Each structure stands twice: as C-alpha cells, then as structure tokens.
Structure 1
Amino acid sequence: MSGGEVSRNADDLFAEAMKATDVLYNVRDTYFPDNPDEKASKLLGKASIALQLLDEIPSEKRKTPIQRATHEYLRGKVLDVFPEYKKEAEDHLSKAVKLNPSLVDAWLSLGNCIWKKGDLPSAKNCYTLALSKGPSKSILCQLSMLERRMAQDKSTEDQIKIVEESIKHAKEAITLDVQDGNSWYNLGNACLTSFFVTGAWDHSKLQQSLKAYQHAEKDERMKSNPDLYFNCAIVNKYLENYERALSGFEAAALRDPGLNASEEVLKIVHLLDKIESLFRTKLKRLASVAASLSTVGVNASYKRETIDGLFEGINKAIAIVGKVLFFVKHENVAPFYYVLCDSSQICYVLSVYGISNEAIKEGDQVTLLEPRYHYVDVSRERKRYQFKSVRVDFLEQVIVNGNCLSPQYAVRASIYAQNKT
C-alpha cells in the first residue's frame, strides 16, 4: 500500500470517528426507550464503534499537537457520553485543551464532564475560556444552563442576579443563530427559572418562556426533545391553559416514557374531576350565604364586583367577596385551590400562590383585591370542564374575615422547571 493510500485512509478514519461520535450523541439526545437499559446498551455499542475507529488511526497521524489534541478530544467526548462522571474522560479532554487551547469543542466537552463531577466553578471556567476564543451558541447555552444550576445553591438576591446572567447568555446565543431551536429552548428555560426565583408571580416571564418554546418548536430537530414539551406544559399549567398542558405532557410522555409526564397528566385530570365534583355538590343555604356576602363592605379604593363582572386577566382596582365552600385537595405542590361562592350565588375556583394553606379555611369569608380572572374551558375524552377561575399571588390581595393576612402566611415558591433547565 502506498503512503498516499495510508494518508487518505487515516484521514477517512478521523472523519469516520467524528461521524461515529455525532451518531453516539444523537442516540443520547433522541433515543428514549421504555426500558432505560436498552439505551445504556445502545450507547455502549455505539461508543465501542467510535473508540475502535480512533484506535485504528495510525500513530503517524497522531504526531502533531493538533492531531493529538483532536484524538484526545474525541476519545474523551466518547467516554463522557454516559450520565455519570468518568475521570478517564476528563483526563483525555484535559490533554486535548493543553495540546490545542484553541480547540473550542474540547473546552465545551471538558466543562460538561467537570460539571458531572459537581465542580461547577471549574466547569464555568471551561465555558468562559472557550468563549474567549470566539462566540459559540452551544457554549453560551451550556453556560446559561450551568448558571441556572449554580443559582439553586444561592440566596434569593444572588439567585436573581445569576439567573439574569443566564437569560443574557441565552439571548446572546439566539443572536448568533435565530433559527436554532436549542437556543430558543434554552431561553425558555431561563425565563421559566426566572419566574420561580423571583417569586412565581410575574406572568410576563411565563409568557416570554412560552414564546421562546414556540420558537424552539419551529426547528425540526427539536421535535424529538421530550423536555421541550414537558417544560412548555409546565408553563401552560401555571397559566391554567390546562388543555395545552395536557397535550404537552402527553407529547413528552410519547417521546420519553421515563419522564413523569404521564403522572402530570393524571394530576391535572384528577384536579379537574375533583373541581367538577365539588361544583355538582348540592349545597344547602347557598342563598343565605350569598345574602350575607352582600352586606360586606370593601375599601373605598376598590370597586366591588361579582365574579361575572370580571375581565380576563388582572382586574385593577376591583374587589370581589366570596365564601369558601371547599378546600380542593390535590397532588401538586402549588397552588392551593378553593371553591368559593359570591353574592350572586355563582361558584368559582380560587387558586392561591405565595400564601400558606393555613391562611384560608373552609367557611371563611374572603375579599380578593385586583384578582386575575380566567375562564377555564377544557375538553378531554368526551368530557368538558368549564368553570370561572380567580388567581391571587400576594398576601396583600387577600382579606380573610375582615382581617389582613399576617406576614407569617407568606411562602416563597421554590419550584423549578423539572428537566434539563
């Protein structure tokens, strides 16, 4: 065999090894069988193929620092495909960046590997060094995601600051490629995390998150990403867009049976069934309850309305008065749900955020200031759920039995988007 043939074949092997590594990571990101062991087995098989191709590259094609760096990078990346940290992978990736500090992809992979070890500051340092070589949407997205993880271990004030940085880097990634669905998905996660760390009351952050996820869905490559559908469903659940939330969780469950998306579907359906059942409960003395509410006074700064007088969204300078008929027991952490009756004998659902469940009890008379109104209309499996819903987010919006709520009843949301945020 001539030297030219050896050279050509070696170049081909490098290209094949790179292609095999891409295939390996595509399996990691898109293959979600019912049995997780099947995925682990498939990854092992694909990794073995990639490592074999790397072993077949002749030593004379691994002599220059750039060649050796590329070889070490690919070997380290293949070994790092699994969820658990592997020191061997870190060792190869560390060699790669020492041999060729300009190899941006190696810095990215090294950061990912060190992140698994739990050394978040060192992982961030890898991403920052990579960005110093030039802008990269994939590194900006990883940095944005890492910052959100780092925020979880900080105080509230620091959390907000770090998540703002995460949003900034997510937006920078989009400016590099406005068509890239993964960058939009990452921005959606950043906005959703911001919603939670700032107190879970700012609906504009949910709307920004939803808009980003919708942009992400336009990219065909993202349609196999179960976490996109799952996190989008989380947003719709908090916006009480239950029908969209249900379809989103179902789409996530189809793509990855290992997610708890099917359980989320059941939780929503159980909640809707419970609410419907409570509305059907025959209530005695409803007329006398409604009559007693008509005598309750409200602050002169607010205009009193009945539930039928509310508009979709926030009702500024409006107050409504209701009697708590039922506390709705359900499986989610937040919000708390109650069924109320107003002075016109119309029942509605009250969803309460940011307030502990001890603050409002069955039988209480409550005045709700500047309530957020939403009409729920959900069709599912030949069943239709329709009811009026009011949401409050702050202690200051609720007066119970004529008294303002004590600050001790305030609770801070501590929920995050559940998958790959």
Structure 2
Amino acid sequence: MNMTEEEEALSKATKEVEDLYHIRDTYFPPDPVDRISKLQHHSDLALQLLDSIPLEQRKSPMQRATLEYLRGKILDVFPDYRKEAEDHLSKAVKLNPSLADAWLCLGNCIWKKGDLSATKNCLSLALNKGPNKKVLCQLSMLKRKMSQGAENQVELVEESIQHAKEAITLDVKDGNSWYNLGNACLTSFFVNGAWDHSKLLNSLKAYQNAEKDERMSSNPDLYFNSATVHKYLENYQRALSGFEAAALKDPGLNAAEEVQKIVNLLDKVDSLLRGHVRAKRIAALASSLSAVNLNLSYKRVTINLLSEGPNRAVAVEGKVFFFIRSESIAPLYYLLCDSNQTCFVLSVYGVRNDVIKEGDQLTLLDPYFRDVDLSWKEKNYQFKSIRLDFFEQVLVNGKALTLQQAVRTSIYAQHKP
C-alpha cells in the first residue's frame, strides 16, 4: 500500500468525524431519539473506517496518537459522558502531547462528568500549543459555567468576555466566536445586577454579527438567546420571531412555549385594556393618587411625557388596578393608571411577588418606557409600557422597599458544552 493510499484512509476517517460533528450541531428532529440514533449510525460508520486502517499505519506513537484521538472524538459525540471516550483521548495526549484538538476534546469529555478544574487544565494545555479560536470559545463557556454560584462570579464572567474577544481577533468572520461573545455579554448583564444596558446591546450586536456567518443559521441556540434579549428589552416582535425560528430549528428547545408565553401575556393585556378597564374605576383610582415626597432631583411627570427608552431623574405616579399573571418567573406584570387616567403596563424585576398589591400607589423612578405596537398572526397589540429593573426604582405607597422584599433575577444563555 503506497503512502497516498495510507493517507487517503486516514483522510476519509477524519472527514467522517467532521461529518459526524456537523450532524451533532445541525440535526434537531422533533424526536430527540432520532437524533441519537442518527449519531449512533454515523459514529459506527466512522469507527468502521478507523478499524479499516491497516496495521502498518498504527506503528509510530504519532500515528497511534491520531487514531486514539479520532476514536475518542467519535465516542464523545453524544451528550452524555462516556468513560471509553476519555480513555482514548487520554491515550492520545500521552502519545502526542502537542495535539491541541485532542486536549480540547478531552476537556469537553471531562466537562460532561462535571470536573470543571480538570476541564480548565485540558483547555489551558490546548491553548499552550498556539492561538486557537475553538479552544478560546470553550474556555469562555467554561468560565461562565464556573461563575455560577462562585464568589468571584463577576471576575470569571469578565474573563469569559476576554476569551471570546480573543477568539474573534483570530477570525473576525467566525460566527461561533461572535455567538459566544453574545452569551458572555448576556451573562455579564445579569451577574452585574442587570443595570448596564450597554452589555445587553453589546450582546445583541454580537448575535447579529454571528448571524452574518451562514454556518450559524443552523444554530437554534443563537436564535433562542437573541430572542431572550429582545424579550427582556420588550422588543416583543423580534422576540416572537426569534423564538419561532429557534423552535423550527430545534423542537427540543422550549422556544415554542416561549412564543406562547409572550402571546398569552399580550392577549391578557389586550383583553384587560379592552374589557376590564372601567372608566369609573380608573377615574376613582386616578383621583385618589396623592403627592409623595420625592428627592428634589426627581421631576414628577405623567406617562405621556416620557420618551422611548430610559428616563433619568423622572418619576411617574400610578395606581395598581390589576396584577397580570404570566407564566414567566420574571418580571412581574401589573396594569396601572396615572393621574391623567392613562393606562399602562408595568413590568418589574427584582421584587417579590407579594410586595405590590392591587390598589397600591406606586412611584416609578427612572422608568424605562416603551410604546408597544406590534402585529403577530394577524392580531395587533398596542399599549404603553414601563419597565423597572431594580427594587430601588419603586416606592410602594410612598415607602422604599427593603432588601427582604427584593429577589435576584438571573437569566442564563442557553448553552451546551
């Protein structure tokens, strides 16, 4: 067997492994069992190709290292941890410690059994072999995972952002690196207290750059995470279309449920504004609004004087006449009216659900205002909306809330090791 034929056998096996991982990243049938059986079928084919490589190509440590690496990578394509995959990948890096991708695969494999420090060690060793965008993206994901519940959470998430940025400098057109940066910025937004909206907007920009890479069009998590940001920003139209796209690409995600949650919320708001809002009740609530002592730096206004987006040093007084039940953990939604008898929706983050009651007078500080106007499935929704991100932004019946009345909100990006 001449050298070109030997190389061809290895090349065929390598190509089969690439195809196998392409299936893993792009094939999401309605029944997850079908996905596993397809991966099983193609991994069996790839293993057969490896087994067909003749003995004379298994003699040197380098050759054996490559074959062990490929075998381990094939076995590690499944979502669950497989010891056999770890054993082959460990052999590969012992035989040839300079195989960066083998270290990367070993790190991914060990991650599945929950040993994050050993995973970090493998990824660091992979990075020692030279700059590598795939390794940097995995390190970025790992730092976010390690940050959950850690004392140095903010620091780890900042490191995650740095790794993501480094990956982009290696290939500015790589969609996966941009997607990873989007996830890192989204996580950073929440771990830093959900106040720095530039982080949210950076996250959206990164996702938009990721979408420019055609290979990312098959990544359902990209659409899901981008829709999550839009939902938070109350860009309901974009959130709905993003979740719908994610649901079409991977029915296994809970994206269809997210669409339904938003539609249910919009329908409730619509029906309340059309049917339940009694003019007499609104007039009575509006006239019962009393002046609350405010810090001198705040200017008291009605909702019609707000501009789109954040309104600094401004306060709006409103009476709660309805708590709108929704299926989301956060935010809490209420229907209010101001002194002009104008009704609006209030969404509040960071407050326990027993703190604000119907009939309460709320003073809303630095409100984020949206004039919502969207159409979905031939139905139009229009209403005014204020969002508050922190418990410090609301006074209930003239009183500031205490820490005991607050609750921490966390939304993590969808993420698969």
Give the TM interval when normalised to the shorter protein.
Answer: over 0.9
**Counterpart pick for 1:77 among 73, 76, 79:** 73
Q: Deviations over 1:271-295 (max 9, x none)?
A: 0011111112132332232223265
**Counterpart pick for 2:53 among 57, 61, 74:** 57
Partner in structure 1 of residue 92 of structure 2: 96
**Stretch of structure 1 that moved more, 393-402 or 42-51:** 393-402
Kept in 2: contact 1:322–1:340 (CA 8 A): yes
CA distance in 1, matches of 2:370, 2:61: 63
Sort the Cα spacing of 1:279 and 1:18 in 2 relative to 1 into closer, same or farther, 3 A. same
For the residue of structure 1 that corresponds to 2:21, the secondary structure is: helix
Report the CA distance between 1:395 and its aligned residue. Answer: 2.5
Partner in structure 1 of residue 227 of structure 2: 233
Kept in 2: contact 1:65–1:100 (CA 8 A): yes
**Stretch of structure 1 that moved more, 400-409 or 75-84:** 400-409
Aligned residues: 415
Report the CA distance between 1:88 and its aligned residue. Answer: 0.9
Residues 1:110 and 2:106 aligned together:
yes
For the residue of structure 1 that corresponds to 2:375, the secondary structure is: strand
Residues 1:356 and 2:348 aligned together:
no
1:278-289 equivalence runs, <5 A: 278-280=272-274, 281-283=276-278, 284-289=280-285
CA distance in 1, matches of 2:221, 2:42: 23
**Counterpart pick for 2:161 among 167, 190, 199:** 167
Partner in structure 1 of residue 263 of structure 2: 269
Report the CA distance between 1:297 and its aligned residue. Answer: 5.1
CA distance in 1, matches of 2:149, 2:9: 44
Kept in 2: contact 1:234–1:245 (CA 8 A): yes
Partner in structure 2 of residue 315 of structure 1: 311
Partner in structure 1 of residue 411 of structure 2: 415
CA distance in 2, matches of 1:227, 1:282: 39
Report the CA distance between 1:204 and its aligned residue. Answer: 1.5
Partner in structure 2 of residue 221 of structure 1: 215
Report the CA distance between 1:347 and its aligned residue. Answer: 0.3
For the residue of structure 2 that corresponds to 1:117, the secondary structure is: coil
For the residue of structure 1 that corresponds to 2:395, the secondary structure is: strand
Q: Deviations over 1:123-180 (max 9, x none)?
A: 110000111110100000011111111111413xx11111111111000000000000
Report the CA distance between 1:38 and its aligned residue. Answer: 1.3
For the residue of structure 2 that corresponds to 1:293, the secondary structure is: coil
Q: Which amino acid aligns with 2:44?
A: S
**Counterpart pick for 2:83 among 67, 80, 87:** 87
Report the CA distance between 1:411 and its aligned residue. Answer: 1.3
CA distance in 1, matches of 2:40, 2:62: 27
**Counterpart pick for 2:383 among 383, 387, 393:** 387
**Stretch of structure 1 that moved more, 59-68 or 243-252:** 59-68
Residues 1:48 and 2:40 aligned together:
no
Q: Provide structure 2 residue ranges, at least 5 long, that are not aligned to the other structure.
A: none
CA distance in 2, matches of 1:41, 1:392: 47
Q: Percent identity?
A: 67
Report the CA distance between 1:418 and its aligned residue. Answer: 3.0
Report the CA distance between 1:44 and its aligned residue. Answer: 1.1
For the residue of structure 2 that corresponds to 1:184, the secondary structure is: helix
Report the CA distance between 1:396 and its aligned residue. Answer: 2.2
Q: Provide structure 1 residue ranges, at least 5 long, that are not aligned to the other structure.
A: none
Partner in structure 2 of residue 291 of structure 1: 287
Q: Which amino acid aligns with 1:44?
A: Q
Partner in structure 2 of residue 252 of structure 1: 246
Kept in 2: contact 1:151–1:159 (CA 8 A): yes
Report the CA distance between 1:419 and its aligned residue. Answer: 3.6
Report the CA distance between 1:202 and its aligned residue. Answer: 2.3
Kept in 1: contact 2:346–2:387 (CA 8 A): yes
For the residue of structure 1 that corresponds to 2:414, the secondary structure is: coil
Q: Which amino acid aligns with 1:292?
A: S
For the residue of structure 1 that corresponds to 2:72, the secondary structure is: helix
Kept in 2: contact 1:354–1:395 (CA 8 A): yes
CA distance in 1, matches of 2:271, 2:392: 31
CA distance in 2, matches of 1:33, 1:398: 46
Q: Deviations over 1:333-360 (max 9, x none)?
A: 1000111000101000111011112221
CA distance in 2, matches of 1:82, 1:22: 14
CA distance in 2, matches of 1:137, 1:418: 20
CA distance in 1, matches of 2:127, 2:281: 68
TM-score (norm 2): 0.97
Q: Deviations over 1:290-325 (max 9, x none)?
A: 223265554432111100000111111111100001
For the residue of structure 1 that corresponds to 2:333, the secondary structure is: strand
RMSD of aligned alpha carbons: 1.3
CA distance in 1, matches of 2:330, 2:260: 16
For the residue of structure 2 that corresponds to 1:57, the secondary structure is: coil
**Counterpart pick for 1:184 among 169, 178, 181:** 178
TM-score (norm 1): 0.96
Kept in 1: contact 2:308–2:371 (CA 8 A): yes
Kept in 2: contact 1:197–1:413 (CA 8 A): no
Q: Which amino acid aligns with 1:261?
A: A
Partner in structure 2 of residue 405 of structure 1: 401
CA distance in 1, matches of 2:114, 2:211: 31
CA distance in 2, matches of 1:368, 1:232: 28
Partner in structure 1 of residue 116 of structure 2: 120
Q: Deviations over 1:192-211 (max 9, x none)?
A: 11112222232221111110
CA distance in 2, matches of 1:207, 1:15: 43
Q: Which amino acid aligns with 1:376?
A: V
